[in-house]
A and B are shown apart, each in its own frame.
Chain A
């Protein structure tokens, strides 16, 4: 297991001060500070409702005080790699909904695109404003050893967690201001204004004044509602629900105390199928009838564009290196994790013979649900997955079980290593693509666990990019 704090069993130089600090904290101070952090989080209302947990709809996402540090050299590479992927993904989306060059070039099988449930037929041929389908991409990055970072997946629809990135920093600065004097740490507080800039640059065709941006949320019962309201607050835009909007003569308005007001850009945090009951799922109560028509007639932009989700499909993921080469003519800066596509006969055979050594994932699953970690599963669980794969091979991919890198946490008063990953948030505007120097570090709090999802017992850490 690679522990990010050490190099040749010595503490790495940029962790020195933090490590000494953490070691020097008396037990009672650790306990006190932990409570203090919890109270701060509770006060600002960071609560997270977890599906499958009906008794308590709100629970705190565990926060660990030991920061995760990334050097500026390491970060430069990650940043470049993430921007490269984000540009390639948008070029790919633009292509497959228009001329489909990558398919003609036979780099990706036709079926994988056109028969993919995430491929939105209604988007074919539509010119998305500025050709940007997915303006916010959260790529999950894992570290294998001192030099290698790999991308585990890209989230192109509505990646969440950015509010934790910002709040974790706020809490750390409030609790340990002295640390920020010792180390030069890049700020993350510009994220909301970067996001607003990126969204505003994507105004629809028929918008000729300062564009009006809103965030569309499913409502306060949604697990990420806190984040929606947090972003709206910091961006200074309205947080709307479906019932606040209506479409009249293809123009989208929101209901205000002054009367109807035109809306130009919707940063939606609801799934495609709920957007518009006329076009998509007719049972949707949180959507806006006529919205898709308003979108297609150039009166409003929906970010991310309907149908963007195909780019973070796990089967498409395995083609990202080819996608980068095809559209950008560059070598990928960040590697993918080796992936076997069960739809291919050889790969399937290999996967079925090595189930105990692999992670098997559903192609369309997310949030750590519907996956098998071979080494941690019983024979019975493995056999269930074997049957599932045989029944529908195209629905599964497999990857080696990665030894994610680890960083210490304060575990019952002392330091103890836990596995982590990293999610930076890349913003793609009409002219600029950028990200703040930071990201969300998720940590698997159970010893030995490799699942960092907050819905599965994961926690978060503040992530420090050093300014050296």
Chain B
């Protein structure tokens, strides 16, 4: 297929995943705003939401102060925020539109109608805070619909691999970032362990990747501890938002591409090594390395894999 087609498919899926992540972040924000808390505590939470989505500076340049209504608007609809949900869906649609012929009619319809309906939602929204739960629900539903049509209607060929790779490169990056922004709450400390603050913070983190209940199921309702959370978010193959899960998917689909084209790339080798490494880790070892250090090198490595992948398939020259 055309290199540009592959690139458009990849980015459309990546932007859709990003819209989904933003919706989940906002869900956490909404939850906090319902829980009585000190003014400072809750402001901090909104700040870290901005930080996790990597747009704190841009936001502050425009609005100067942290305000939940403004943050919500900024994250959902602001046309000036290039990674607002609206712009993510718009960009995803633009990308698909450019390669209309590479996706099924069902996929195009799902993306196209999401875009048109979101525009309608924006116009009809009167009280953004009050209507937030419905908007979030709607976004998640649309993302599931789009992904469902991809799974059910696309040919399972190279185009499919590029779509899936877009999803998991984004998810690996997002999960790593969300843990990194919050890594300090996962540090072992005698003062923290078992305190209410811990439990609250940890549950928020789980919720932000939609894994609160999944966690409970996975660990049989045991007490939440930082090692279990590290295990769950980084090393648990049953958790679809864990780092290892994304790495396994990327490894698999890069492998499929390599077989399909009968060509190999540095990205194949590198992701293979990453997967091997993460498989042999456990939560204690990560704590020994230092969670922050681990995440830092994880983000660097996955970026390197992406760069090599991009060179190979999108630019046609591996340097």
Contact surface of A with B, Cβ cutoff 8 Å: 42-45, 219-220, 225, 229-230, 232-233, 238-241, 243-244, 254-260
Instruction: Please provide the chain B residues from 1 to 15 with a CB less than 8 Å away from any CB of chain A in the complex.
Output: 1-6
| In the complex, B36 has a CB within 8 A of chain A | no
By beta carbon, the residue of chain B nearest A237 is B101
A257→B98 contact, CB < 8 A:
no
Given A44-B105, A220-B94, A244-B2, the answer on whether A257 and B100 have CB atoms closer than 8 Å is no
* 26 A-B residue pairings within 8 Å (CB atoms): A43-B109, A43-B112, A44-B109, A45-B97, A45-B100, A45-B108, A45-B112, A220-B98, A225-B97, A229-B101, A238-B2, A238-B5, A238-B101, A239-B99, A240-B2, A244-B2, A244-B4, A254-B2, A255-B2, A255-B4, A256-B1, A256-B3, A257-B6, A257-B158, A258-B263, A259-B316
| In the complex, B261 has a CB within 8 A of chain A | yes
| In the complex, B113 has a CB within 8 A of chain A | yes
| In the complex, B116 has a CB within 8 A of chain A | yes
Instruction: Please provide the chain B residues from 293 to 319 with a CB less than 8 Å away from any CB of chain A in the complex.
Output: 313, 316
Chain B residues contacting A229 (CB-CB under 8 Å) are 97, 100-101
Chain A residues contacting B101 (CB-CB under 8 Å) are 229, 232-233, 238-239
A42→B316 contact, CB < 8 A:
no
In the bound complex, how far is the Cα of B109 from the Cα of A43, in angstroms?
6
B100→A233 contact, CB < 8 A:
yes
Of the candidates A42, A225, A233, A256, which one forms a contact with B2 in the assembled complex, judged by CB atoms under 8 Å apart?
A256
- Chain B nearest CB from A163 CB (Å) reads 12
- Chain B nearest CB from A335 CB (Å) reads 40
- Chain B nearest CB from A219 CB (Å) reads 8
Known: A220-B94, A233-B101. 7 other contacts (CB 8 A): A43-B109, A238-B101, A239-B99, A239-B100, A244-B2, A255-B316, A257-B2
By beta carbon, the residue of chain B nearest A238 is B2
Instruction: Please provide the chain B residues from 215 to 263 with a CB less than 8 Å away from any CB of chain A in the complex.
Output: 257, 261, 263
Of the candidates A232, A233, A258, which one forms a contact with B261 in the assembled complex, judged by CB atoms under 8 Å apart?
A258
In the bound complex, how far is the Cα of B105 from the Cα of A219, in angstroms?
20
Residue-wise interface mask of B (147-171) relative to A, using a CB-CB cutoff of 8 A (1 in contact, 0 not): 0000000000010000000000000
By beta carbon, the residue of chain A nearest B112 is A45
In the bound complex, how far is the Cα of B100 from the Cα of A260, in angstroms?
22
Chain B residues contacting A232 (CB-CB under 8 Å) are 101
In the bound complex, how far is the Cα of B316 from the Cα of A260, in angstroms?
8
Closest 8 CB pairs of A and B: A229-B100, A233-B101, A255-B3, A220-B98, A257-B313, A257-B6, A232-B101, A255-B316
Chain A residues contacting B3 (CB-CB under 8 Å) are 244, 255-257
The secondary structure that dominates the B interface is helix
Total A-B pairs in contact (CB under 8 Å)?
57
Instruction: Please provide the chain B residues from 78 to 109 with a CB less than 8 Å away from any CB of chain A in the complex.
Output: 94, 97-101, 105, 108-109
Contact surface of B with A, Cβ cutoff 8 Å: 1-6, 94, 97-101, 105, 108-109, 112-113, 116, 158, 257, 261, 263, 313, 316
Chain B residues contacting A219 (CB-CB under 8 Å) are 98
By beta carbon, the residue of chain A nearest B98 is A220
By beta carbon, the residue of chain B nearest A246 is B316
In the bound complex, how far is the Cα of B5 from the Cα of A243, in angstroms?
12
A43→B158 contact, CB < 8 A:
no
In the bound complex, how far is the Cα of B313 from the Cα of A257, in angstroms?
5
By beta carbon, the residue of chain A nearest B313 is A257
Of the candidates B94, B98, B116, B261, which one forms a contact with A42 in the assembled complex, judged by CB atoms under 8 Å apart?
B116
Chain A residues contacting B112 (CB-CB under 8 Å) are 42-43, 45
Chain B residues contacting A225 (CB-CB under 8 Å) are 97
In the bound complex, how far is the Cα of B1 from the Cα of A244, in angstroms?
11
In the bound complex, how far is the Cα of B99 from the Cα of A42, in angstroms?
18
By beta carbon, the residue of chain B nearest A259 is B316
Chain B residues contacting A240 (CB-CB under 8 Å) are 2
B4→A243 contact, CB < 8 A:
yes
Chain A residues contacting B6 (CB-CB under 8 Å) are 257
- Chain B nearest CB from A240 CB (Å) reads 6
Chain B residues contacting A258 (CB-CB under 8 Å) are 261, 263
By beta carbon, the residue of chain A nearest B113 is A43
By beta carbon, the residue of chain B nearest A215 is B101
A257→B105 contact, CB < 8 A:
no
- Chain A nearest CB from B25 CB (Å) reads 30
Chain A residues contacting B257 (CB-CB under 8 Å) are 257
In the bound complex, how far is the Cα of B254 from the Cα of A257, in angstroms?
13
By beta carbon, the residue of chain B nearest A39 is B113
Q: Which of B2, B98, B108, B109 has the most CB of A within 10 A?
A: B2
By beta carbon, the residue of chain B nearest A243 is B4
Chain B residues contacting A238 (CB-CB under 8 Å) are 1-2, 5, 101
- Chain A nearest CB from B90 CB (Å) reads 12
- Chain A nearest CB from B58 CB (Å) reads 25
A257→B116 contact, CB < 8 A:
no
In the bound complex, how far is the Cα of B116 from the Cα of A238, in angstroms?
27
In the bound complex, how far is the Cα of B1 from the Cα of A174, in angstroms?
33
B261→A257 contact, CB < 8 A:
yes
- Chain B nearest CB from A186 CB (Å) reads 25
Given A43-B112, A43-B113, A257-B158, the answer on whether A241 and B4 have CB atoms closer than 8 Å is yes
In the bound complex, how far is the Cα of B263 from the Cα of A256, in angstroms?
13
B4→A220 contact, CB < 8 A:
no
- Chain B nearest CB from A243 CB (Å) reads 7
Chain B residues contacting A241 (CB-CB under 8 Å) are 4
Chain A residues contacting B109 (CB-CB under 8 Å) are 43-44
